[in-house]
A and B are shown apart, each in its own frame.
Chain A
Amino acid sequence: MDTTANATGPVTDPTTAETGLATRKAVPGRAARWNVMKNGRVAFPLTVLVILALVTIAAPLVAPYSPTQLLGAPLQEPGRSHWLGTDDFGRDVLSRLIYAGRVSLGVAAGSVALATIAGVTLGLIAGFARGMLDMIIMRAMDILLSFPTIVLAIAMVAFLGPSIRNLIIIIGVIYTPRFVRIVYGSTLQVSEAEYVQASRVIGSSDARILRTAILPNVMAPILVQVSLSLGLAILVESGLSFLGLGAQPPTPTWGNMISNARPFMEMFPHLLISPSVVIGMTILMLNTLGDGLRDALDPRLKGSR
């Protein structure tokens, strides 16, 4: 990942492409939704992720040491007192890894939440209201998308300062256009559907149409995108850390743990391995979850309304 390569993955992402191919979408019924949860490809990664989140939230209870305290024995191999060894400052790697999870997952969750809320709002408005508003919003998103992420990131960090809160804003802003596009596409599609036209004819209010017809249909691709974006956000954060724009020392994030481990890679590979494995596994779970959700929520398998 170069701040954006893996991170953006495909700009329009499979979901939008699929929207192009699919011609019918229907809302999965309640029974279908419960089946989703029971689906192995969703349940397994979801469970792992929930456990991971709980462990990182409970960091003060779970971590054997403080993540920032220097314990006087730098660059130790994994051993009995330090299960994953110590880093170049003499801090316990395992503890840092757990606390880092809070930051990395927190930044990812916060930024994706921001992007989702902003994206859904803007996408719905653009797709539903059409006309001038549509054009302004979508062109603005295009401009944002054609802007190299690195410039946005450096400029925003320089302007706002490199705090965690600002990281969330920055990554959130970077990902908003993708969500807007997906929601916009879905909204457009559904708006054209017969039953929605029919709803309009019989006089249903806009709000009702939004609530009953459009939102539920948009939910599925959004859920998928959320889980994928979470993984990408973690990678973006790690890339920003590599470039020196991430969270402040001594705060650990998975990204800055990897980037700090790089100079020691040859002599002390344990420093690079543990955060890489954790990041890899987390993103793997997130992507599997995304795939599983997409497969499970695909209405064509469930039959139509």
Chain B
Amino acid sequence: MTTRTRSPFSRSMSRRSLVGGGAATAAGSILIPKASASPRISFPRSQREQDGEPKSGGTLIYGLSTDPSNFEPHFSTGAASTSVKMMCYSTLLTYDADNQLIGDLAEEFGWVDDTTYQVKVRQGVTFHDGSDLTVDDVIFSLNRIRDPETAATNAPFYQEVTEIAAGDDNTVNITFNKPYAAFPHILANANNYIVSQAWIESGVDPMTEMMGTGPFIFVERVPGVSITLEKNPNYFIEGLPYLDGITFQPMPDDTTRMTALRSGTVDFVDYVPYTQMGIIENDPNFQFMSDSVSGFGWIGFNHEMDIVNDQNVRLAIAHGMNRETMVQTAFSGYGAPITGGLVPEGMLGHAPDLEGTFTGDYEHAKSLLDTAGYNPLELPMLSTSTYTVISRPAEAAQAELNQANINLDLELQEWLTFRQSVADGTHPIHAWGTAFNYPDPDFLYQYLHSSGTSAKWFRFANDELDALMEEGRFSSDESLRDEIYQEAQALAAEIVPWVYTIRRTQGEAMASYVKGYVHTEAWIPIFQREIWLDK
């Protein structure tokens, strides 16, 4: 059994550090840096060595983009909530600064055989209430996730699990029906925390309280005002955390949050709006750490509706957008175009041959429309006003497609109404965006396999894609998987179940005296535990 799983990001490691070194200083003007085809990383890893010895003490004041609705460890309550929950709870695995999987509560981990995954639970870990972390707690937590009554966000990923049982020597064995290569990433996922069986069963309300094994202890929550955490002196990693505590202050208004950072009211903010990225990047008093890989937008279809069920129409839409321009219009350059497959460079399954397939060829788009018999084409497109990271690419797409004789009447609904409408299939086209659930191409399953949640919203099914998705999910041979996913993406580019638009830059900003933090491409904020204040 190995102690380190080969991660999808292991490929272009050296290339990454080369790219990382120079990207910190953006070329040219403030708001319009160049959009490049390869993912951008704006914080060089080597910087960390220059920071010096960490100092203990101090409280980090964190301006949070959303007030977490509740603290339930097995529900997904948004990325902002993860910043809080991940400090009180721990997962079995997590990511290191190079986006590789490492053990957290698991001392050792890996596949015993094709269909059995094993983790060795670390000894000497205590919960905040003093009780020991045991194998039973781990088994209880995973089973709680699987229990339909919990309605846990990660439950669907445990579908093929047949048994979770204790093995020898503090191990837990998870047995599957078939091999499931992406599973380790689920164990590192933000909604997969390990909780104390005794605590949950004692009748507490996990929605309003947190008690885990994390680097910080939950002290108090004042709704809409603050969430206070203090240092866990018995954290299982020696020396961590350096901070005495973290105080989260919800600030949903983008401008207010950024003003708070820049005026020194808070030390750290998550989710920097693209309008302020340039300002922060060019201010030596602040640091900005981000990626332009994981967040992406797409245009989806209701394949049961007329017109869009014609492949040529969908292809026309795919070709009728110049993504480079869209990155400029939507995000002032803070993003990256998706001109081929969705899997980014550096991840297993990336298809380099597909790059440049969709470059914004309006004439080609128009001729496709002619073939389909709908030139010009007018359709209603649904999107949401609640998140500008979704609505701006939608507007940019609308502007682009105009040039290809495709006129989309945009209708923006607020978030829950929008989600209901997509589920109900009220519109032939919708524009949405999200991020990878985890850094493995298996995330495509949800969208391309007919049983996937999103595929069901698209009312889409294709036998060949189904077979490829299943093969990719259930094989353990890495090079085989690589081929499979490249093939799947090529097929998707032909039959166009959905159309990708652009990636967005997403990241955190902090004062220059905040050290130790690293932004991971999996958007797992585990490095908050390594923050120290240089003042």
Contacts and interface: CB of A to CB of B under 8 A. Distances in A.
Taking the complex as a whole, does A directly touch B, i.e. does some CB pair lie under 8 Å apart? yes
A124 interface: no
Interface stretch (A37-45, A242-250, A291-299): A242-250
Contacts of B279: 266-267
A161 interface: yes
Contact of A262 (B255, B410, B411): B255
A158 B391 contact: no
A75 interface: yes
Contacts of A89: 329, 395-396, 399
A244 B414 contact: yes
Contacts of B391: 249
Contacts of B255: 262-263, 265
Given A75-B31, A263-B254, A250 B399 contact: yes
B186 to A, nearest CB: 34
Given A250-B398, A263-B276, A245 B332 contact: no
B411 A162 contact: yes
Contacts of A267: 30-31, 279
A90 B329 contact: yes
A74 interface: yes
B273 A263 contact: yes
Interface in A250-287: 250, 262-267
Contact of A248 (B329, B332, B396, B411): B411
A266 B414 CA distance: 28
A75 B409 CA distance: 25
B332 A88 contact: yes
A245 B385 contact: yes
A158 B399 contact: no
B56 interface: no
B126 interface: no
B386 interface: yes
Contacts of A248: 409-412
A250 B329 contact: no
A264 B385 CA distance: 18
Interface in B395-412: 395-396, 398-399, 409-412
A175 to B, nearest CB: 23
Contacts of A154: 414
Given A88-B332, A250-B399, A263 B414 contact: no
Contacts of B134: none
Nearest to A161: B411
B47 interface: no
A75 B31 CA distance: 10
A157 interface: yes
Nearest to A68: B399
Nearest to B387: A244
Interface in A60-93: 68, 70, 74-75, 88-90
A33 B30 CA distance: 60
B10 interface: no
B410 A250 contact: yes
Interface string B299-333: 00000000000000000000000000000110010
B contact residues, range: 20 to 34
B275 A244 contact: no
B123 interface: no
Nearest to A260: B388
B410 A74 contact: no
A250 B275 CA distance: 19
B412 A244 contact: yes
A271 to B, nearest CB: 11
A25 B398 CA distance: 57
A249 B395 contact: yes
Dominant SS among interface residues on chain A: loop
Contact of A158 (B30, B396, B411, B414): B414
A68 B329 CA distance: 13
B413 interface: yes
A74 B29 CA distance: 13
Nearest to A70: B399
Interface in A86-102: 88-90
Contacts of B409: 248
B417 interface: yes
Contacts of B275: 88, 263-264
B329 A158 contact: no
Contacts of A157: 414
Question: Taking each of A90, A162, A249, A262, which has the highest tally of chain B beta carbons within 10 Å of its own beta carbon?
Answer: A249
Nearest to B412: A248
Contact of A162 (B31, B276, B412): B412
A74 B332 CA distance: 9
A27 B417 CA distance: 51
Nearest to B275: A263
Interface in B404-428: 409-414, 417
A172 B409 CA distance: 25
A262 B417 CA distance: 26
Interface string B265-299: 00000000101100100000000000000000000
A13 to B, nearest CB: 31
Contacts of B417: 158
A271 B394 CA distance: 22
A157 to B, nearest CB: 7
A267 B396 CA distance: 22
Contacts of A68: 399
A269 to B, nearest CB: 13
A250 B412 CA distance: 11
B390 to A, nearest CB: 12
Contacts of B254: 263
A244 B385 contact: yes
Nearest to A163: B411
Interface string B245-278: 0000000001100000000000000000101100
A85 to B, nearest CB: 14
Contacts of B398: 249-250
A193 to B, nearest CB: 50
Interface in B34-51: none
A15 B133 CA distance: 71
B476 to A, nearest CB: 46
Contacts of A158: 413-414, 417
A248 B385 CA distance: 9
A162 B380 CA distance: 13
A265 B279 CA distance: 12
A88 to B, nearest CB: 7
B391 to A, nearest CB: 7
Contacts of B395: 89, 249-250
Contacts of A263: 254-255, 273, 275-276
B31 to A, nearest CB: 7
Interface in A148-174: 154, 157-158, 161-162
A267 B332 CA distance: 14
Interface string B375-393: 0000000000110000100
Given A88-B332, A89-B329, A244-B386, A162 B413 contact: yes
Nearest to A88: B332
Contacts of A244: 385-386, 412, 414
10 contacts: A88-B275, A89-B395, A154-B414, A158-B417, A162-B385, A244-B414, A248-B409, A249-B412, A262-B255, A263-B254
Interface of B: 30-31, 254-255, 273, 275-276, 279, 328-329, 332, 385-386, 391, 395-396, 398-399, 409-414, 417
Please name the 8 residue pairs, one residue from A and one from B, whose CB atoms are nearest each other, closest first. A244-B385, A263-B275, A158-B417, A70-B399, A249-B395, A248-B410, A89-B329, A248-B412
Given A74-B328, A75-B31, A248-B409, 5 more contacts: A162-B385, A249-B391, A249-B412, A250-B410, A264-B275
